């Protein structure tokens, strides 16, 4: 599994990640993406379920600024 968070200062609010993985990403009032999965609140501390890994990879691949970060460990 993977942990994920959006580096919001690099997000350009393109919307692609939420289209690819609506169970993982939503957008704040400025249209910037954040991880909403299981109440993570873009902390990167919630392990993404195996059945969402494909959606997650699609989102990562679709992000024009590569600001979706993943880690094998929870983000500090």
25 to 49, 57: CA distances (angstroms): 14, 12
Among positions 21, 36, 56, 67, the unique one binding ligand F3S when judged by CB under 6 A: 67
Q: Does 49 bind ligand F3S (CB under 6 A)?
A: no
Q: Of 6 and 56, which has the nearer Cβ to ligand F3S?
A: 6
User: C-beta of 59: minimal distance to ligand F3S in Å?
Assistant: 6
Q: Which of 53, 57, 62, 70 binds ligand F3S (CB under 6 A)?
A: 62
Residues in contact with 2: Cβ distance below 8 Å, sequence separation at least 6, in sequence order: 47, 48, 53, 56, 70, 71, 72
């Amino acid at each position: 599994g993977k942990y994920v968070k959006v580096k919001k200062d690099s997000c350009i609010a393109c919307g692609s990640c939420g289209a690819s993985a609506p169970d993982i990403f939503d957008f704040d009032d400025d249209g910037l993406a954040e991880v909403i999965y299981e109440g993570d609140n873009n902390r990167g501390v919630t392990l993404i379920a195996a059945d969402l890994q494909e959606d997650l990879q699609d989102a990562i691949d679709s992000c024009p600024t590569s600001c979706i970060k993943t880690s094998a460990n929870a983000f500090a």
